[in-house]
Structure 1
Amino acid sequence: MSKRKGIQKTAKVITGGEGQRAAKGLKRSASAELDLPTKRAKTSEASLAKLAASQKSLSMFVDMPLDVLTEIFTLLSPRDLVNLSRTSLMFCRTLCHRNSNIIWKTSRIRESEDTPACPEDMSERDYTILLFTTTCTHCGANNVKEADFYLRRRLCKGCKKSCLVHVYNETMYAHMDLVPQTNRSWTRSLSSRYLWKPEIEEMSKQIKLLETNVKKGQNGARKALEDFKSSRNMIVKGIYASARELFSWQQRMMEAQKGLTQDAVRDRLKEIERRFRDLGYLEDDFPREMHKKKFMRQSAPLTDRAWQVIRQSLEPELLANKTKRLAIEFLAIQARRRDIVEKLYAQYRITLFSSQWENLPVLFNICRLEPIRHLIDADRSVTVTEADLAPCMDNLPETLSKAIEGVKERLRNHVLTRMAHGSVTQSEEFKELQLAMISFQCASCRHLVFSFNELKVHACTPPDQGVSRTIVACYRTAPIQPDTEFPYTFMFCADGVPILQKLIQAVGLDHQTATAMQMDERDFRFRCRQCMEAESGNRDDPRYSEVAYSWKTMTYHVISSHEDVMKLDKFLGFEEVPARYIPVIRRKEAQEASRIDIWNRWACTRCTKYMVGQYGTYHEDVRKHVVKVHKIKKPQIGVHMAQLPGRSSGYIGTPYNPKDAQISEINQ
């Protein structure tokens, strides 16, 4: 028998599309063995040498005993057996022979012990291929995860669309009961029935041939037709019976494989995380969506090449996250160092009279003074203790005095560059920055500050830090980039000079010599004519109200609300609030002062309990503490308890209704 006839005989053993592909491959192999004339390819000595080195000889297997080959084959996995049967004609003949069924069966059982027995309508080889390969039986497409055991095929979506016929009724095709039907289409619906088009067409041809023989009156033709239909009915019933068991087995295998895949993905992720940790990254540095990336959720083992790709993709974001984490950790380190300063500062404050507290800078300011600032901002590797900061606090009076003189010098020079030189700038009040006509604006909160005493204890929340009860709370939780002194930058407010001059003259003082303290002692209240003119049409409204301002709040109001009319020199000015309205205004101011007590910090003058770590300690809490701990029945403000410098409540006026003031005057 020639090799061509041997190929044809071997191809008959292999059924379906698998057999067609195997036969084509074997024909190509046989053509090479028979040395059929083909067009000579262009080759070079280098390519021939490379080809010879890559080719492996299988001639040694020809002389091996069959029982040795069988023993070797039974140790292979089902997929390896399938691939081996497609490598050469010799292996195809050996593994496709009926005597090789034990090889396929042994390999199949070793792969999965609970595999159902091979159906009678399939060979062991075809059965193994159907169960354990993932190629489409019809077109050879890869990665077909589910087999259709009704049709005894593993079909891709494209083949299902092109070759499955939807059965709408029982009379659609003749002899439909002789071929298996399936409910597994290219959709997820399991409510419809489908036929494999090539199979029903082939069945129609066979039935037509048998019926033709019956019509011709051939002997035994009718019996052959009946026997064929009966055998086909039995085969279809057997297919249905075994298919249910096979579908259950396939579902179990897919779930098990899914679990193995998930475990493999999890192990791969752990390995990636371990390698990143070895590079110095922590779990907090990992991107939030890192595990969802496609190249991360793979079940294949992590190779060095894959690791390099993953590292190049993720490390920039990891590095950015690490930088942020280290910055946050450093803020916590700085906060702990500031806690030490706060403790030492409280011990220093308790040595002073409570009347001196109002002239002390807040903690935020103290922490920005050298050399305290240098220790707080020291590298994270440096351990800063109370012993390191104690000498700085011992020298605090000298440090404060030096810093204060430096700020005064800068501000005086700044005023002189914006203001004409004269007798005002030569006075002692100017040198100490106590003149009422000179105000400064904080570059952080934009509020006006009057006199150096107020500037020295100014505390505010920078605009990019949100709102906190005190600057201490803000400074503990957020990074702040301070400027020059205490630590804010104060600028001379030249726009406030003409307004302040008129206010000083209105209370009967000389604007060239009047100090902020003198203006506070006069304590006049003013109302804005510009606002009154704008609201003149609403004076008959019962809800009409006016706003009373102190000299400080009036200055801030004009600059912030009437800057446009000031530039046009159309500002109508202000006037003193009539005396009959003053009692009502005073009561409202007292109520407002009581309401905003939450912004103020109270402390005991006998201990440091409420000086450390307290953000907005209430007056009543401190009073109860003095009574209970220090056994003082009637605590006095300024003696047993005092207010600490804190955040300003702002520069707003006090609204009042003139009619309410008149009613109050009548009742009196």
Structure 2
Amino acid sequence: MCHGCCDDGYEFNSESDDSDLTDLDTDSLEESSSQCSEYSRLNEAFGEDSAGEYDEETREGQPAKKRARADQGTGTASTAKGPGRRKKTLSDIVTMPIDILLEIFGLLEPVDLLSLSLTNTAFREILLSNNAVWKTARVNHGVPDCMPGMSEVKWANLLFGGYQCHECGAKGFHRMYLGIKRRLCHSCVNDNLVASYSEYIQDVEDDDPDIVDLVPFTYFGGRAFSNADVRLFWSDDVRKMVEQLEVYHKDADMFKPGAKQALEDFKQSRKKYVDSVVNHAAICDDWADKDREGQRSRVHKFRDYIKKLVEDRLVVLGHSVEDVERMFVRHHYGVLDKELTDTRWKLLLPKIERKLSELKEGWRLEEQRERKVLLLNMYERYVRPLPRAIIPPQEDFLKLCDVAEFINSPPTGNWRSDVQPLADRIPGLCAEYLHSRKLALTQLLALSTDVLQDAATLQSQGVDAPDDVLVQLATSVFQCTHSLPFPLITWDKVQYHRCPRSQGYATPACTFSISQPGVAAVRSLLGLVGLDAQTTTATTMDHLHCRFFCSNCPPKSQGGGSYRMVMNWRQSVFHYVEQQGPAHAEPRWEFLSAAQLQVLRSLPTPPYPEPSVRAWRCNKCELHHGSPDNKAAVITFLCHLGYTDIPSVHGITAPTEGVDFSYEQGICEKPPPTTKFFVIPQPKQPTYHCQHCKNSKRKFTLDGVKSHMKAKHTIGSPVERTDFCNA
């Protein structure tokens, strides 16, 4: 029985609520559409406001005319086809005796009788004029008795004609409200139901307090009425009851004989009627719940049966059992709701195979995403405490041969068990990644004649392994091809490089080339200090502690003196690369004199990187890895300064830079700023104190103290020794 009563989802189609997946069986869609139109006409025929079940005027003469058409149509069809196999037809069934038809109709279910009454006028006339056949069908199939005051036809229409709202005619499956004998859409429920606590009911109770006991009601009213214990009345039923009571009260007020007794008898009969409706509605609700569960069970059993047939046929055609079973886990696509005939199978097979192919591709991509996410989670847990220099970025890690092969491998049922062995290889994969990057730089250096004089020998021999010494030479200067061309001196800086175009370290788009200006600058510095370009490493140059002036940059004047910028060898390389132009056509340098070096050592050295830069991290734990902080915050974390009530995490009262904490070299790729050195010292200028600022030790130049006196003390012409004095 597909009657769709009592619940919005009673048609059991919730599993296939996907518009782009229901086109596999177009016949089922056409049938569903035709069902809605049929039941729309059915509600018009059997609605509460219809002309009636026994309208004799609509029956006169029509059955004979219908039979004449059927006879004529049958004869014409057989004549046109000629000899041969005759097509089976039920067109002559309307000519059978009525008593035989009624016996046949009595074996049907009520919902079938409703559908049958819409097939032609003859059946409709027979069914509407025989109330007994409806009762027989109802009793034979365990349907409860009619609600008080309802005929068999209207009762069947209320239970099984669920494709149209009884109030506004809106099409679709609608909830059945047995207490008020209606099937209604949500809009009509919210607009027409009134609660017992509403102002309208309270107003009519003022006229007659018994009115709430005289009108049928329901307890369920959708979202507008959330309290399940409140009586809900149909507003039109209340209005009609008010009108009826007004007539009785009017007669009683006019002291008509027997009027008060008539009013009391009416109320008693209505109370009995309402009680019978409420009690019977409860019985019918229980039956509807059981029938709904029974129908759901039958639908699922039928779908399981059809699904097994479809799966068996697809497996015979070569599809895997796992794919076929997975196809129908979440949706049935309208395929499982009808008998699987050979004709229907021929129509469905191309669509099913096309859909299965789309699903398999979707499953493959979904499994790839799951593999990637799971593997990256394991990867992040492994690399979180490690320096960024020795781990590949996520993008590069996913492109490693073994990792990419695992992610892109065909879907399997137990792929999760294969993740752990690959995760155990992460340290080795990271080492292979560094090996490949270092090998690429070695090969790049072997091709550059500016770096090695014997590059031709290396090229002839071939390079198939990284050369750790070669990539650490002072002349091994690289640059990123996707960022500003500042030099990356040796492998140590390349491995920490973070391309400005991306948020990650050494992204896949980051490739390297030889920095020709950088190599030229290093070779000129090595020639100046007298070291061999083919053997001197960057560490050797760092230990020399040499300082240089750029001979291409003239001194600059400031405050009566002149200065030049002092640079170590790394700063010199950066300076030459950044100052490329006619004034720096070739690198030229000069040493600082011994006296100048002595003065330089006495100058304060600014910290690098600055403590306020968020580049510092704790070396004792992984807290700041990936999220560096300023220097003070890291030191505070190490020793908990200012948090005396909290015990120290690492027990370090005096953390040492480079041991207990350090800075991320990937964030600070450039060397510290160069130092300003006055080759001609600035003459000392006298300084002054303001006499009006008591207890102030602030010092001013002459112009400064005059500006101060004017701005703060409104003295336009200050006098020395009176307003200010020598510091």
Normalising by structure 2, what TM-score?
0.44
More helix by share: 1
Normalising by structure 1, what TM-score?
0.47
